[in-house]
């Protein structure tokens, strides 16, 4: 993964590669992944593994090319969440052309203040421009009731491409291509 020394940035956020997080940042990130409410918003279970194992698993996946993960830093340099590209297709070692995006702002006091949108824009700028070779398309899934997330993703260029109805929920599928993103972000 090739990144500028400080990582991609957009607006008030900077993305810091997971492999560069320090001990206190890993502890904070681990606490976010252990949080029940945050896990529910991501359709996951809170993790139960200890922090040292969580760190090892995440770093191994990064180094193996299975994902590209970043800590989200606010304007003061404090870790406030994470963002990643995972489910790379085709699977490494082949050259990935598609990926799935996941984002989490772990500090609830910052929800709805544009930090997630800034992180998504920074990640897309990296995925479609700085990453070599650039991805062709990024997709994501969110719950239909999470309209705030859908508006934020739409503001970053994502378009709804379908829905999946399950017994207990409806998922909204969104995606953006490199060409669409570049057309929307010319001159920025």
Residue 107 has pLDDT above 60, yes or no: yes
Q: What is the pLDDT of residues 80-89, one digit of tens each?
A: 999 999 999 9
Q: Where are the domains of the chain?
A: 9-135
Range 116-135 average pLDDT: 90
Q: How many residues does the chain have?
A: 188
pLDDT on residue 102: 94
Q: What is the pLDDT of residues 4-57, one digit of tens each?
A: 445 665 678 999 999 999 999 999 999 999 999 888 887 788 999 999 999 999
pLDDT on residue 10: 64
pLDDT band at 188 (very low <50, low <70, confident <90, very high): low
pLDDT band at 141 (very low <50, low <70, confident <90, very high): very high
Percent of the chain with pLDDT over 90: 67
pLDDT band at 131 (very low <50, low <70, confident <90, very high): confident
Residue 109 has pLDDT above 50, yes or no: yes
Q: State the DSSP string of 104-121.
A: EE--GGGTTTTHHHHHHH
Residue 132 has pLDDT above 50, yes or no: yes
User: What SS3 state is found at 14?
Assistant: strand
Listed in order, strand segments (DSSP E) in 29-143 are 68-73, 79-89, 98-105, 137-143
- Top CATH class, 9-135: alpha beta
Distance between CA atoms of residues 117 and 80, nearest Å: 13
pLDDT band at 2 (very low <50, low <70, confident <90, very high): very low
pLDDT on residue 92: 77
Distance between CA atoms of residues 94 and 186, nearest Å: 30
Percent of the chain with pLDDT over 70: 94
Average pLDDT over the chain reads: 89
**Pair 126, 161: CB distance under 8 Å:** no
Range 45-71 average pLDDT: 92
């Amino acid at each position: 993964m090739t990144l500028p020394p400080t990582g991609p940035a957009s607006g008030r956020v900077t993305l810091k590669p997971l492999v560069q997080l320090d001990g206190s940042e890993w502890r904070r990130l681990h606490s976010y992944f252990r949080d029940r409410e945050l896990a529910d918003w991501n359709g996951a279970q809170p993790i139960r593994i200890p922090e040292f194992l969580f760190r090892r698993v995440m770093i191994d996946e990064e180094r193996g090319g299975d994902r590209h993960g970043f800590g989200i830093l606010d304007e003061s340099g404090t870790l406030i969440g994470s963002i990643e590209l995972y489910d790379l297709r085709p699977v490494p070692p082949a050259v990935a052309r598609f990926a799935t995006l996941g984002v989490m702002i772990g500090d609830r006091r910052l929800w709805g203040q544009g930090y997630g949108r800034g992180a998504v824009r920074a990640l897309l700028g990296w995925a479609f421009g700085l990453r070599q070779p650039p991805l062709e398309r990024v997709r994501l899934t969110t719950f239909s009731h999470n309209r705030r997330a859908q508006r934020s993703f739409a503001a970053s260029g994502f378009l709804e491409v379908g829905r999946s109805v399950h017994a207990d929920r409806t998922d909204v599928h969104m995606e953006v291509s490199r060409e669409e993103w570049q057309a929307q972000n010319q001159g920025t």
